[in-house]
Structure 1
């Protein structure tokens, strides 16, 4: 009978857990829809900024700007974007592995500096006694583009001062709720993409001149790339958590079914044993 009580208690515990995972899945699905809307709006802006930079570089013989200057790569900064919370499958672990693999592959023999957006990445490297040069976290008071602008200003100041020779972003790229791809993108120095001409970027006359436009354009380009990384990572997090909670809910339902069968069999065996005892007792009388 004690065994029956244990099984029944475990079934009740699993049902409670299943309710939590289903609720978390619904919350993540709602947040994912909002994040997807933001990404759809932000991606064209970031892509247009890249196209405009490419057009400027093609329209001028030589562009001089500190953020376009390519230096000998001795000091590398890596900004790792992760979530603040867990329960999202291997999302954070995959991003951390990507950052570690990139560091081992491209930062060997160089002075590497780590900056973090999100607690999970910071906590991982903090446990390994890595030096943390910067930490950023979304809050009610500061989120979205305002935070991206803050990160951008800090990075531009450090790069201009010569603290870094290269800056890379390690973030999630959202493909679907089931697929999130860890990516590494070079942020600084800014290298305009070539070979992407369009009718809109041919024979454009810039006023007052490309250099003056670059002065205001490049900081906006950098903040837009960081903002896109924040949005992509947020959508990837919600997608990964929704998938993880869906899988957890299915596993809980399967375990509840198996335990229910086990409970019914044990209960049937107990009833059969009691009936046999009664029958044997009656026969003895």
Structure 2
């Protein structure tokens, strides 16, 4: 990846509006000292024809790499979409059971630790970044959002702990341990699974149930479209008694009526559509008997429900990262295409000027004879 980064970095950062002042090409004493170059090309001083051809070939090879990375990222976005959709049946069934039990126990005094509200003195923040770079500003957006949230909480006199998911965020905050209380680091991986989500959930539950922290928030990138992602701060714990997951502004997301994204192709272009995934809650019989204590059932269901919420956040974050990488590689490919075109134009103009100069010399010599 480092080799690819060294090749694509100039294309990712190049500005199309930059102008070329000129280029000098060695063609002997009769070659023009300066050849006008089009806007958008790079200044190449004292370049021989062979060096120019090598540069054009190098840019062409780089474009092939970025095109391939774009297609790979697009295929992985599709896979991430399928993972979200594939997890829906389990989530829907779990929500039905959870809502029905809560409806049945709505009039009873049920004490579930994961729904227990207590004064917030310390918050655990779970920050989700990517494992790799070459994805534009995706990782920086999440890191900056995390820093901003920590600053907001500290300004309110609230202490913060930090768990990172993804190598980029882990490395960044690990280097700043003097400023951030980094508890643990996890890798995002290329295909988040329920086991990955459960590993993260176990640490979260341990911190919350032991009252080491009073609140748990998760910062991840919500996949809006292939060209847009929304950094989201979501409250994981405590849960509402309805099993809803709420954002930090108090807006709760009903998992029975949330959205899923679908990758489509229209007019040969990739696009993303978000559709409502309505879940009809089945009616349970009026008389409900539990083989176990209802509190034990809720204590078993809510961690399971939280696992599905963490997994969904990981999948959306991964999809956002892949979409950002696809866009970055698309931009790099476009820049490479334009750069190759402009370099070819500079090369052809210099070659034409040399040929013209040689013809003039031949004509002048013939006339003198």
TM-score of the two chains, using structure 2 as the length reference: 0.70
**Equivalences for residues 94-109 of structure 1 within 5 A:** 94-108=141-155, 109=157
Shift of 1:218: 1.4
Mapped pair 1:18 → 2:63: yes
* In 1: Cα distance, 2:253 partner to 2:227 partner: 32
- Secondary structure, counterpart of 1:175 in structure 2: strand
Residues 257-281 of structure 1, C-alpha deviations (whole Å, 9 max, x = no match) = 1221121111111111222223333
Distance change in 2, residues 1:206/1:232 (3 Å): farther
Which residue is equivalent to 1:243? Answer: 327
Residues 211-236 of structure 1, C-alpha deviations (whole Å, 9 max, x = no match) = 12112101111211111111111111
TM-score of the two chains, using structure 1 as the length reference: 0.89
Higher alpha-carbon deviation: 170-179 or 84-93? 170-179
Higher alpha-carbon deviation: 44-53 or 173-182? 44-53
Alignment length, in residue pairs? 284
Residues 134-162 of structure 1, C-alpha deviations (whole Å, 9 max, x = no match) = 1112569x951111111111111121111
Distance change in 2, residues 1:15/1:146 (3 Å): same
Which residue is equivalent to 2:303? Answer: 219
Which residue is equivalent to 1:67? Answer: 114
* In 2: Cα distance, 1:230 partner to 1:143 partner: 7
**Equivalences for residues 111-130 of structure 1 within 5 A:** 111-129=159-177, 130=180
RMSD: 2.6
Shift of 1:56: 3.5
Which residue is equivalent to 1:254? Answer: 338
Distance change in 2, residues 1:138/1:82 (3 Å): closer
* In 2: Cα distance, 1:112 partner to 1:50 partner: 31
The answer to whether the Cα contact below 8 Å between 2:115 and 2:238 also exists between their aligned partners in 1 is yes
Q: Which runs of 5+ in 1 are unaligned?
A: none
Mapped pair 1:207 → 2:255: no
Higher alpha-carbon deviation: 110-119 or 4-13? 4-13
Shift of 1:19: 0.8
Which residue is equivalent to 1:189? Answer: 238
The answer to whether the Cα contact below 8 Å between 2:127 and 2:146 also exists between their aligned partners in 1 is yes
Shift of 1:172: 1.6
